[in-house]
Amino acid sequence: VTVERLELVRVSLPLVTPFRTSFGVQHERDALLVHVRAREAQGWGECVTPAAPVYSEEYTGGAAHVLEHQLVPRLLAPGRTLRAEDVGLRLAGVRGHRMARAALESALLDAQLRAAGRSLAVHLGATRDRVAAGVSVGIPDGGIPELLEQVEGYLDAGYVRVKAKVARGSDVAPMQALRTRFGARLRLQVDANAGYDPDTPADVAALDALDELGLLQIEQPFAPDRLLAHAAHAARWRTPVCLDESITDAARAVEALALRACRIVNVKPGRVGGPFETVRIHDACRDRGIPVWCGGMLETGIGRALNVAVAAMPGFELPGDTSASDRYFREDLTDPFVLVDGHLAVPTTPGIGREPRDEVLATATRLPLAG
């Protein structure tokens, strides 16, 4: 497409419930969006960064800075024609900042596909028209009683599996309580967000106890760069280890699998640098018989639309954290994603199939970068 204007748009949406993980608590989603206005069509991409560098090195203020001062200047050549497929090459000299890159690449791809009248799901080779929805449940301030109440609500709503956040001191007892209350048939997995230390005996003991609870997966117990520690413990546990933070790109996924650091991969388009790297991870895992699922970062409807299209690809065999809009927000930035029979419908209109609603955009802050 021929880029006429490129803008960063920042909008804050309150979460319906605070979201606590081993790395902190979040009360709102301070979303950073890339808006591309091209001659042919416009496009939107969401940067999935949290407000602070606590999940990975990236955070929203840093992403806005690197987009403005490093990425966009390298991207826009004279003439300003640009394909989403060129973003990776033009930014090849920059290390890291994958969440910021992903926002650019997905905004351009959205514009390009809108111009072509083609949906993102079709473009990615999706084989499903709806995707099974799991839900990621934070550590509630109200302890075990509140956790049981929240999980009951999500099961009543139809979510097909539950992922509970765990952290030191909030792990074995609450998961045992979930088993006692909902039984062995509850499809339950945990996510530690790298909160445990493989060299601390009490941490390993807690994880060993979780391994007895019939969980579907244990996600990212240790720090992102500790692939060998993950491999050592994965070999002892019956519960499959899934990696999230560790998997920064397809090459790292291949290394993690070669080391047997995990048996399942959580793929987040935002974390890995965009839709094209997502496809490479999907293909590498598929070649090796490794199931993947689509994670999330509390995205608004813009990032969620990308995730839902990705989750419709054939290798996404496990239910993801792609929950309905009302699990996060009273009012989403876009038309909502709605849970029907435990599934979300995959958008079929051109591009990502969603755009911000004018009422919410009216509250946004804009920073023009080009045009």
- Contact footprint for ligand OSB (CB under 6 A): 55, 136, 191, 193, 244, 295-298, 321, 323
Closest CB 103 distance from ligand OSB, rounded Å:
16
| Choices 87-95, 176-184, 239-247, 278-286 (CB under 5 A): range interacting with Mg ion | 239-247
Q: 211 has which bridge partners?
A: none
Distance separating alpha carbons of residues 111 and 106, to the nearest angstrom: 9
User: In which element (H, E) is residue 266 found?
Assistant: strand 264-267
Partner from ligand OSB, Mg ion, none contacting 323, C-beta within 5 to 8 A by type: ligand OSB
At which residue do the structure tokens 């083609």 appear?
118
Q: Nearer Cβ to Mg ion, position 244 or 332?
A: 244
In this structure, what token pair is assigned to residue 131?
Answer: 């995707």
Short-list 233, 297, 299, CA closest to 261:
233
Distance separating alpha carbons of residues 111 and 108, to the nearest angstrom: 5
Distance separating alpha carbons of residues 271 and 356, to the nearest angstrom: 22
Does 321 sit near Mg ion (CB under 5 A)? no
Q: Nearer Cβ to ligand OSB, position 303 or 350?
A: 303
Residues of this chain, 169-228, that bind Mg ion according to CB under 5 A: 191, 219
- Provide the annotated active-site residues: 165, 268
Residue nearest to Mg ion (CB): 244
Q: Nearer Cβ to ligand OSB, position 44 or 293?
A: 293
Residue nearest to ligand OSB (CB): 296
In this structure, what token pair is assigned to residue 1?
Answer: 């497409």
Q: Nearer Cβ to Mg ion, position 25 or 338?
A: 25
Closest CB 74 distance from ligand OSB, rounded Å:
28
Does 299 sit near Mg ion (CB under 5 A)? no
Does 244 sit near Mg ion (CB under 5 A)? yes
Phi, psi for 362 (deg, rounded to 5): -60, -25
Closest CB 6 distance from ligand OSB, rounded Å:
26
DSSP 8-state secondary structure symbol assigned to residue 199: T
In this structure, what token pair is assigned to residue 31?
Answer: 């979303």
In this structure, what token pair is assigned to residue 6?
Answer: 């490129």
CA distances from 301 to 94, 263, 283, 314, 371 (A): 28, 30, 26, 22, 26
Q: Report whether 255 contacts 284 (CB < 8 A).
A: no
Closest CB 58 distance from ligand OSB, rounded Å:
11
Q: Nearer Cβ to ligand OSB, position 44 or 337?
A: 337
Number of residues lying near Mg ion (CB under 5 A): 3
Closest CB 134 distance from Mg ion, rounded Å:
12
Could you list the residues that contact Mg ion (CB under 5 A)?
A: 191, 219, 244
